[in-house]
Every structure is written in structure tokens, then in C-alpha cells.
Amino acid sequence: MSWRNLLATAIEAVQWNRMRSVLTMLGIVIGIAAIMVTVGLGEGAQAKVKSTISALGSNLLTVSPGSSSSLQGVRGGLGSGSTLTLSDASALSNPQVAPAIKSTAPIVSGHETLTFGSANWTTTVYGTTPSWLSIRSRTLEEGRFLESSDLKSGSNVIVLGAVTAQELFGSKNALGQSVDVGGLPMTVVGVLAPVGTGTSATSNQDDLAIVPITTAEYSLLGTSSNDSVQSILIKSTSAATLSAAYQEADSELLMLHGITDPSNADFTIASEQSLVSAATSVSSTLTALLGGIAAVSLLVGGVGVMNIMLVSVTERTKEIGLRKALGATPSVIRRQFLAEASILGAAGGAVGGAVGILGQIFLPSVIKYPIEIPGSVTASSILAAISISLIFGVYPAARAARLSPIDALRSE
């Protein structure tokens, strides 16, 4: 029997039991659509994380104390030590020492409760220098940012994020007002322009308060050593000099800390790129997990195909007997049932793919989350549907092929 006749026969059988075929396909449809939408959600999340991190600031490196690469002995993890100092930051911003570095911003931070009148709001307070603004690619909504004179005198001035200002002052003007920060009165000199449109991923960029690092060190956050900082932000002169800036910062810090073996470094430099890949790896792990769960549902769909094919073989025993009496060989019978299984799989896969694509178009407006389904995922999902059905069709088809024509013809 030719493949064309075989397919025609299989399509006829599938159409004849239309209701049953549709119900069988449903399992495959749900499995494929679930896989496509979860993978799409994962891809969408990754794209979103990438764009969010990119928005934090370009050409950015972050130096943290401690090292994540521990070779011998007990070493503090990333960020656990206090080996970075203010003088490290100022040494790195010297263009003679590091020509590829445009500017640096040392940072200390802590959580403090801000009080204005009866309103209070807990937020992250950062102590830093005036260069923070340009390194983070931020702008001011009103007022001014920190100035070097604020730093020298350790004056009690504060710049608020848009959300923080809103929470404390509502519609009132924040500029010039005095805010109590952990018992210390500070004057609001500026409010930052919001970065995001207020979605959850960017809102914390708008909920913060900035004070001069000197004020933070001496009066506010009370770090263990008055000279140490929690991290140093570095901005390279351009995207092309980012790796040069990395090299310069690395060798300069090694020299300043008197470390000869780079593997013993007591600091870690992370690029924006490594942040992206860390965040992406988290979301791709999540995607793999969800995709795995969806794949289980496809597997269940495959079991459904096997179930129905077994019922079909039992129900059509007489037909199988007749076909054998008319000259069908066992392999023709086997191929006929395999063809039926793969048609169910192909149709289920195609419908599931269509449902997935519809989900990609219509779901994001409902769940406010991007879904991006790559074409390769659609294609491989449909292939997976066909293969799953084929694999689960093997046993029922073998049973049909094994039937003895006499017993089969005699059955009612």
C-alpha cells in the first residue's frame, strides 16, 4: 500500500470518529499550547530583564568587596567584606591612572525611615558622590543634585526619588522641606525624575534617597570604618573602552591593596553584561521548569493518544480482520495505525500551535506581561506533538498488526 493511500485511509478513519479524534487531539493541543506560552513567557521575561538592566546605566562596572572565586581557605563571599575605600574610588577616577574610566561613584547604603510631619516612609538611603547622577544616567525632576561642597562639609542635604517624594509630601512641594532621617533633620534639595512608567520592575529605582557619602559615613549609617564603602560604580568613557576600564580598575585595585596574585583579589568587578547573564540564567531556569511542567502535560496528551488508539484497535478488530483477509500484511496494518496516530498528533500540534500564537497576541494585554514565542519553538512543538503521538502509537499499532485474521473476523 502506497504512503498516499495509507494517509488517505488514516484521514478517513480519523474523520469517521470525529468526536473521538477531537477529544484525543485536545490533550495534545493543551500540551503544545502550554509549552509555547510558558516558553514565550520565559523569553518575554528575559527580554524585559535585559532592557531593564540596560536602563540602569550604560558602560557600567560595579566593584564589590570580597571575591566570589575562592581557591583556598575561608574567604568572604561577594560583598561581605569592607575592603573598598573612598580613596580607592578617587584613585580610579584619576585619568592618569585609568584613562578608560570616565568617573566613579562610591556607594554606601542602608534602610532608614524618613519622617515628614505625620508621614513616614522607609526606603533605601544611598550615600554617594555627585558623579552618581551621570553614571546612573539619571536626571532631576526639580531642584539640584549633590554638589562637591555638600561632600566636603558633610552637609545635611538629601535628594529623593520620585516615589519617595510622592509618599512623603503627596502633592506638596518637597524642595526646601526638612525631613527627619533616622533622627537627623535633612533638607530636601532635589527630586529625581522617575525612570520607569511605574511598572514593578523599575519602581525601586524611583523609591530611594541620596545623601552625600560623607554625611552618610559620619552621621547617618555609621559604617564600621569611616572610610570603607559598599561598592564603587565605574563608568567607562564609552562602550568600546568598557573592557579596558575593567583591566585598569582591576590592576589598580590589586596594586592599591598590595595583592600580587590576581586570584587572591579581595574585590569583584561585575559588568552590566554579567548582571544580564545572571538575571537571564535565573529566568531561563524558571522557563525550563515551567516548560518541563508543560511538557508533562504533552506527555499526558500522548498517553491519551495511546489510550484512544488501543480502544480504536479493540473496536475495529473486525475491520482489521477483514483487511487482513483481503491481503493486508501485518506491516501495512501497523503503518495504518501509526499514520492515524501521527495525523492526530500533527492536527493536535497545528491547533495547539495556533492557540499558542493566539495566546502570544492576546494574553499580554490581560496579564500585563510580554510573551515572545520564537518561530523555532512553534516548529519544534508541532514536531514534538507528531513524535509523541507516533511513539505512543507504536504499541497499539503493534497490537493491531499481531491480531490473527480468524479471531479478528469472528469478533463482534
What distance in Å separates the CA atoms of residue 239 and residue 234, rounded to the nearest whole number?
A: 12
Q: Residue 290 CB, nearest distance to another protein (Å)?
A: 41
In the bound state with another protein, the residue whose beta carbon lies nearer, of 11 and 140, is 11
* Candidate ranges 10-18, 54-62, 80-88, 391-399; the one touching another protein (CB under 8 A): 10-18
Minimum Å gap between C-beta 197 and another protein is 58
12 lines the binding site for another protein (CB under 8 A): yes
Task: Decide if residue 13 touches another protein (CB under 8 A).
Answer: yes
Least CB distance from residue 409 to another protein, whole Å?
7
Phi, psi of 104 (to 5 degrees): -135, 155
- To the nearest whole angstrom, how small is the minimum distance from the Cβ of residue 18 to another protein? 11
Q: How far from the centroid of its chain's Cα atoms is residue 252's Cα? A: 34
CB proximity list for 286: less than 8 A, separation 6 or greater: 42, 45
Q: Does 315 bind another protein (CB under 8 A)?
A: no
**Among positions 119, 278, 293, 325, the unique one binding another protein when judged by CB under 8 A:** 325
Helix (H) or strand (E) holding 98: none
Nearest CA among 184, 53, 54, 51 for reference residue 113:
184
Of the candidates 46, 93, 5, the residue with the CA atom closest to the CA atom of residue 280: 46
Task: Tell which one of 3, 16, 197, 260 touches another protein (CB under 8 A).
Answer: 16
Nine cell digits for residue 58:
550604560
Strands of 311-382 (E only): list them.
none
What residues between 326 and 385 interact with another protein by CB under 8 A?
Answer: 326-330, 332
Q: Which three cell numbers stand for residue 115?
A: 519622617
Chain positions 385 to 404 lying near another protein, rule: CB under 8 A, are 404
- Which set of grid coordinates corresponds to residue 251? 590592576
Q: Is 102 in the site for another protein (CB under 8 A)?
A: no
Number of residues that bind another protein (CB under 8 A): 23
CB of 350 to another protein, least distance (A): 22
Question: Which amino acid belongs to residue 245?
Answer: A
Q: What is the DSSP letter of 150?
A: H
Nearer to another protein, 279 or 311 (CB): 311
Q: Considering only CA atoms, which of 322, 306, 326 is closest in space to residue 398?
A: 306
Name the one range near another protein by CB under 8 A: 7-15, 52-60, 280-288, 338-346.
Answer: 7-15
Dihedral sign for Cα atoms in the order 242, 245, 249, 250: positive
CB of 317: closest distance to another protein in angstroms? Answer: 12
Among 5, 122, 204, 274, indicate the residue that binds another protein (CB under 8 A).
5
Find the Cα–Cα–Cα–Cα dihedral 65, 70, 72, 77, rounded to 10°.
50
Q: Which residue has the cell 557619602?
A: 213
Per CB under 8 A, does 409 bind another protein? yes
Nearer to another protein, 15 or 251 (CB): 15
C-alpha neighbours within 13 Å on the C-beta side of residue 237 = 12
Binding letters toward another protein, positions 260-299, x by CB under 8 A: ----------------------------------------
How near is the Cβ of 282 to another protein at its closest, in Å?
A: 53
What CA dihedral angle connects 173, 176, 177 and 180, to 10 degrees? 140
Taking the least distance from each CB to another protein, the nearer of 174 and 343 is 343
Binding segment for another protein among 9-17, 19-27, 96-104, 176-184 (CB under 8 A)?
9-17
Phi and psi angles of residue 77, each rounded to the nearest 5 degrees, phi first: -75, 180
DSSP calls for 275-320? HHHHHHHHHHHHHHHHHHHHHHHHHHHHHHHHHHHHHHHHHTHHHH
Separation CA 311–CA 305 (nearest Å): 10
From the CB of 381, what's the least distance to another protein, in Å? 30
143 belongs to the binding site for another protein (CB under 8 A): no
CB 109 within 8 A of CB 95: no
- Give the residue from 35, 23, 104, 18 showing the smallest Cα distance to 355: 35
Considering beta carbons, is residue 102 or 323 the nearer one to another protein? 323
CB of 397 to another protein, least distance (A): 16
Q: Does 405 bind another protein (CB under 8 A)?
A: yes
Nearer to another protein, 1 or 290 (CB): 1
Nearer to another protein, 386 or 403 (CB): 403
Contact set with another protein (CB under 8 A): 1, 5, 9, 12-13, 15-16, 318-319, 322-330, 332, 404-406, 409
